[in-house]
Amino acid sequence: MKISEDPERTVRRARSTRIPRLLIALAVTTVAAAGCGDVQTGAVGPDRSASASAAPAAGASPAASSCVGRVLAGMSRSQRVGQLFMGAVSAGPGTTVGTERAQVAELKRHDVGSVILMGPVRSGLSGVRRVVGDIGQLDLSVAHAAVGTLVATDQEGGQVQQLSGAGFTDIPSAQVQGAWTASRLRQQAAVWAEELHEAGVRLDLAPVADVVPVSIGRANGPIGRYDRQFGSGPETVGGQDSAFVRGFGQAHVLTTLKHFPGLGRVRDNTDTTVGVTDTTLTRDALDLNSFRTGIAAGARFVMVSLATYTRIDPAHRAVFSATVIDGMLREDLGFDGVVVSDDLGNAAAVQAVPPGRRALAFLRAGGDLVVTVDTDDVSAMTSAVLDAMRSDPTLRTRVDASVRRVLAAKQAAGLMACAA
C-alpha cells in the first residue's frame, strides 16, 4: 500500500475501510458479470474432521456460518492451504523496508493468510501501522467477500513485548500482573489491546497459561527464567488468564493460551534445545485447569508446545501428537477454536525434521495454523501440504475444517465480511 502525506492517518483509514471498499467493488463486479520418529505421516486416530471438527464454532450465528461456508467454497486449494500458515515479517531495528517487503512478497506468492510481526519493534504505533499497511497486500477477495490478513505479535509484557515506543504502554511482566486483582488486570489488558487494535494487530500470542511450581522457579528455562508466569498454581494462573482474555475481548483483539499442555515443569527451552521432555505431566493434571479456565473465558487460539510429554504421548512431541491435540485439547477440554503451533521454523526442537514434514505432521495431528518465523520455510511447507492433499482425502477434510476455524476467528476479529 502506498502511504501518502500523513502515514499514520492513511494506514489507519486503509485498515478500517479496506473491507467495505472491497465489498463495493465486488458488488459492482457481480452486477457486471450478471449482465522423523515422532512425525506422523498418515491419518491419525478416529477422524473427527468430517463431522464435529468441520462444524462452525459454538455460538456462531447462522449468518456468520453462512459467510464462512461461502468463502471456503470459493477458495482455491492454494488459498485454503495458505490460510493455515502464519509467516514472519521482520520490522525490528536494522530491518530495511526492502527486506520487509520481500518477506511480504514471498508470503503473497503462497497465499499466506496470517503474519507474525517479529521485532522488537520500537517505532511506536506509527511504525507498526506502516508495516501493517504493507501486509495488507496479502488480503483476499473471495466469493463476494473480503478476507483480511490476521496480524499477530507477542505482547505479553516484561521481557516479551515485541511492540513498544510512542503509543504503546510498557507492560510489566506476567509475574507482576499476577499480583494484581483480576479486575485491574482486565482493565489494563483492555488498554493494551486497544493499542494493538489501533496499530492493526488483531491477535496477541498471549497470555502464558503455563504453571511454574515454586520448586522450579527460575530454573524453568522457557517461562520462569523470564518471569512469564502469572503464578505457581493453576487457580491463580487460570484466573489471571481469564482476566487477560476478557480484557482483550473488550477491544476485539483475539488471544492465545500457550504452551499447551504446559512448559512450566521443564528445564530447557524448546527454542534453543533439542529433546526437551516433561516426565511428570499427565492427561488429568491439575495444571491443565489454567487452560480450561482461559478457554471458558473466550480464548480463540491455543498454542501447542514443542516438548515431549512421556506420561501422555512418549512417541511424539506435543505439536505432532493426536493424543495431545485431538484427544486432550479438543475432546477433554472441548476447545473448538484455532490450534496454533509454536514456531516450526527456527526452533531447535524441530530442526531434525524437514520443514514440509513438520507442517504435515502438525495438521494431521489436528492442528490448524502453522507458525514459522523463517519465511524461507513457507514454500516447502505449503508445497508439502498441497502435494499430500492430492492423494489424501482425510487430509483434505482436515484442511477444510481448519480453514473454517481460521475464517471464523478472522470474522470475529472484524477481518472478514460477506456482501449481503
The amino acid at residue 324 is V
315-372 pLDDT tens trace: 999 999 999 999 999 999 999 999 999 999 999 999 999 999 999 999 999 999 999 9
3-state secondary structure 296-331: HHCCCEEEECCCEECCCEEEEEHHHCHHHHHHHHHH
Element (H, E) at 231: none
Beta carbons of 80 and 385 less than 8 angstroms apart: no
CB 192 within 8 A of CB 162: no
The tens digit of pLDDT for each residue in 101-148 reads 999 999 999 999 999 999 899 999 999 999 999 999 999 999 889 999
The CATH number of 7-30+45-418, from 3.30.70.990, 3.40.50.720, 3.40.50.300, 3.20.20.300, is 3.20.20.300
Percent of the chain with pLDDT over 90: 80
pLDDT tens-place string over residues 295-325: 999 999 999 999 999 999 999 999 999 999 9
The pTM score is 0.86
Question: Helix (H, G, I), strand (E, B), or coil: what is residue 196?
Answer: helix
Asked whether residue 81 carries a pLDDT value surpassing 80, the answer given is yes
State how far the Cα of 189 lies from the Cα of 102, in Å rounded to an integer: 33
Gap between the Cα atoms of 80 and 111, Å rounded: 8
Pairwise CA distance, residues 377 & 355, whole Å? 6
The residue written with cell numbers 501493517 in the block is: 132
Instruction: Say how many CA atoms lie within 13 Å of 318 toward its Cβ.
Output: 33
The residue behind cell 499442555 is 261
Q: Is the dihedral of CA 12, 88, 261, 231 positive or negative?
A: negative
pLDDT given at position 232: 97
Bridging pattern class, strands 85-90 and 114-118: parallel
Instruction: Name which of 335, 409, 407, 411 is nearest 366 in CA terms.
Output: 335
Written as one string, the DSSP assignment of 394-417 is HHHHHHHHHHHHHHHHHHHTT-EE
